Chain A
Amino acid sequence: MSATEKPESLQLEKPIAETYILPVEDPILRIEDLSLYYGETQALKGISVNIPRKLVTAFIGPSGCGKSTLLRCLNRLNDLVDNVRIEGRIHLDDMEINDSQLDVIELRRRVGMVFQSYNPFPKSIYENVIYGLRIAGVRARSELDETVESSLKGAALWDEVKDRLNQSALGLSGGQMQRLCIARAIAVNPEIILMDEPCSALDPIATSRIEDLIDQLKEQYTVVIVTHNMQQAARVSDHTAFLYLGQLVEFNRTDIIFTQPERQQTQDYVTGRFG
Chain B
Amino acid sequence: MSKNWRQGEQYVWASATIVTVTLLMAVVLIAVVLFNGLGYFWPSSLVRVRLTDGTVLLGEENRREEGVAGGAGNLQLKVGNRDLYGQDFRWVKGGEIATRETPTGVVRLEREEHGNFFGTLESLALPGLPGAHGESDSLWERFRRALEEVRAQKETLDEAREALGDLGGEMESLQQELRALAYGSGGAASVADSPAVRALVARRAALQARFEKENTALAESVAGLNANTARFRDAGGKEKDIPLAVIVRAVRPNDMSLLAKIGFYISKIGELLFDEPRESNTEGGLFPAIFGTVMMVVLMSMFSLPLGVVAAIYLREYAKEGFLVRLVRIAVYNLAGVPSIVFGVFGLGFFIYGVGGAMDQFFFPERLPTPTFGTGGIFWASLTLALLTVPVVIVSTEEGLSAIPRGLREASQALGATRFQTLVRVVLPMAVPGILTGFILAMARAAGEVAPLMITGVVKLAPSLPIDGTFPFVHLERKFMHLGFHIYDVGFQSPNVEAAKPMVYITTMVLVLLVLCLSLTAIILRNKMRKRFQTSTF
A residues adjacent to B (C-beta < 8 A): 75, 77, 80, 82, 105-106, 108-109, 112-113, 115, 117, 119, 121-122, 131-132, 134-136, 168, 170-171, 174, 181, 184-185, 188, 201
Interface centre among B413, B416, B538 (most CB of A within 10 A): B416
Please report the C-alpha to C-alpha distance between residue A181 and residue B414 in the assembled complex, in whole angstroms: 11
Interface SS majority for chain A: helix
Given A122-B429, A122-B535, A135-B425, A108-B413 contact (CB < 8 Å):
yes
CA distance A174 to B533 in the complex (A): 16
Residues from chain B with a CB closer than 8 A to the CB of A77 are 410, 413-414
B396-427 near A? 1/0 per residue, CB < 8 Å: 00000000010111111111111001000110
Residue from the set B411, B417, B418, B425 with the largest chain A CB neighbour count within 10 Å: B411
Shortest Cβ gap from B449 to chain A (Å): 36
Q: Could you tell me the distance between the alpha carbons of A168 and B430 in the complex, rounded to whole angstroms?
A: 14
Cross-chain contact of A108 among B414, B426, B535 (Cβ < 8 A): B414
Evaluate contact between B411 and A188: CB separation under 8 angstroms. Answer: no
- Smallest CB-CB separation from B430: which chain A residue? A122
- Residue B532 at the A interface, CB < 8 A? yes
Q: State which of A108, A170, A171, A201 has its C-beta within 8 Å of the C-beta of B416.
A: A108
Chain B 109-157 residues near chain A, CB threshold 8 A: none
A163 to B409, CA, bound (A): 28
Chain B residues lying within 8 Å of A75, measured Cβ to Cβ, are 414
Q: Given the complex, which residues of B lie within 8 Å of A105, measured CB to CB? A: 416-418
Our pick among A115, A168, A188 for the contact of B410 (Cβ within 8 Å) is A115
Given A109-B416, A135-B421, answer yes or no on A170-B535 (Cβ-Cβ < 8 Å).
yes
Q: Does B536 contact A (CB under 8 A)?
A: yes
Most chain B beta carbons < 10 A, residue from A82, A105, A109, A185: A105
Q: Are B415 and A174 in contact (CB under 8 A)?
A: no
Among residues of B, the one whose C-beta sits closest to the C-beta of A117 is B407
Q: Which of B405, B409, B412 contacts A131 (CB 8 A)?
A: B412
Contact status A135-B417, CB under 8 Å: yes
- B535 CB, nearest partner CB in chain A, Å: 5
Say yes or no: B417 contacts A119, CB within 8 Å: no
Give the CA-CA distance A118 to B460 in the complex, in Å. 60
Give the distance in Å from the alpha carbon of A170 to the alpha carbon of B537 in the complex: 9
Query: From B406, which residue of chain A is reached at the shortest CB distance?
Result: A80
* List of A residues within 8 angstroms of B534 by Cβ: 170
Complex CA gap A117/B411 in Å reads: 10
Question: Are the CB atoms of B412 and A121 closer together than 8 Å?
Answer: yes
Interface residues on B, range: 20 to 34
Q: Which residue of B lies closest to A111 (CB)?
A: B414
A132 touches B416 (CB 8 A): yes
Given contacts A117-B407, A119-B407, contact A188 B416 (CB under 8 A): yes
From B407, B417, B425, B430, A115 is in contact (CB under 8 Å) with B407
Note all chain B residues with C-beta closer than 8 A to A188.
415-416
The answer to whether A170 touches B536, judged by C-beta atoms less than 8 angstroms apart, is yes
A113, B416: Cβ atoms closer than 8 Å: no
With A109-B416, A135-B416 already in contact, the answer to whether A171 and B411 are too (CB < 8 A) is: no
Known contacts A170-B534, A174-B538, then 14 further A-B pairs from the complex at CB < 8 Å, ordered by chain A residue? A82-B321, A113-B411, A122-B430, A122-B532, A122-B533, A131-B412, A131-B415, A131-B417, A135-B415, A135-B421, A168-B532, A184-B415, A188-B415, A188-B416
List which B290-318 residues lie within 8 A (CB) of chain A: none
CB distance from B61 to the nearest CB of A (A): 61
Chain A contacts for B430, CB-based, 8 A: 122
Shortest CB-to-CB span from A203 to chain B, Å, is 9
**Known interface pairs A119-B405, A122-B430, A122-B535; A113-B412 also in contact (CB < 8 Å):** no
Q: Which residues of A lie under 8 Å from residue B533 when comparing CB positions?
A: 122, 170
Chain A contacts for B408, CB-based, 8 A: 119, 121
In the assembly, what is the distance between CA of A113 and CA of B411, in Å? 8
- Assembly CA distance A106 to B405 (angstroms): 25
What are the 3 A-B residue pairs with the smallest beta carbon separation, nearest first?
Answer: A113-B414, A119-B407, A132-B415
Most B CB atoms within 10 A — which of A82, A105, A119, A134? A119
A80 to B430, CA, bound (A): 20
Give me 8 A-to-B residue pairs in the complex whose CB atoms sit less than 8 angstroms apart, sorted by A's number: A115-B407, A119-B405, A119-B410, A121-B425, A131-B412, A132-B415, A170-B535, A188-B415
* Bound form: Cα–Cα A135–B424 in Å: 11
CB distance from A134 to the nearest CB of B (A): 8
- The interface residues of chain A lying within 8 Å CB-to-CB of B411 are 113, 115, 119, 121, 181, 184
Give every chain B residue within 8 A of A119 (Cβ-Cβ): 405, 407-408, 410-411
Least CB distance from A230 to B in Å reads 24
Point out the residues of chain B lying under 8 angstroms from A174, CB to CB. Answer: 538
Contact partners of B416 in chain A: CB under 8 A: 105-106, 108-109, 132, 135-136, 188
- Cβ of B415 and Cβ of A108 under 8 Å apart? yes
CA distance A113 to B430 in the complex (A): 22
* A248 CA / B461 CA spacing, docked (Å): 81
Shortest distance in angstroms between B443's beta carbon and chain A's nearest beta carbon?
26
> Which residue in chain B gives the minimum CB-CB distance to A134?
B425
Report if A171-B414 is in contact (Cβ < 8 Å); known contacts: A82-B321, A119-B407: no
Contacts of B405 in A (CB 8 A): 117, 119
Kindly state the separation between the CA atoms of A105 and B419 in the bound complex, as whole angstroms.
Answer: 10
CB distance from A249 to the nearest CB of B (A): 28
Tell me the complex Cα distance, A82–B405, Å: 17
Q: How far is the CB of B291 from chain A (nearest CB, A)?
A: 39
A32 to B440, CA, bound (A): 55
**What's the minimum C-beta distance from A141 to chain B, rounded to whole angstroms?**
19
**Chain A CB within 10 A, most for which of B412, B415, B532:** B415
Give complex CA distance A75, B413 in Å.
Answer: 10
Tell me the smallest distance from the CB of A190 to a CB of chain B, in Å: 9
Q: In the complex, A193→B184 CA distance in Å?
A: 73
**In the complex, chain B residues whose CB is within 8 Å of the CB of A201:** 538
- Complex Cα gap A27–B414 (Å): 22
Q: Which residues of A contact B320 (CB under 8 A)?
A: 82
Distance in angstroms between the alpha carbons of A188 and B411 in the assembled complex: 13
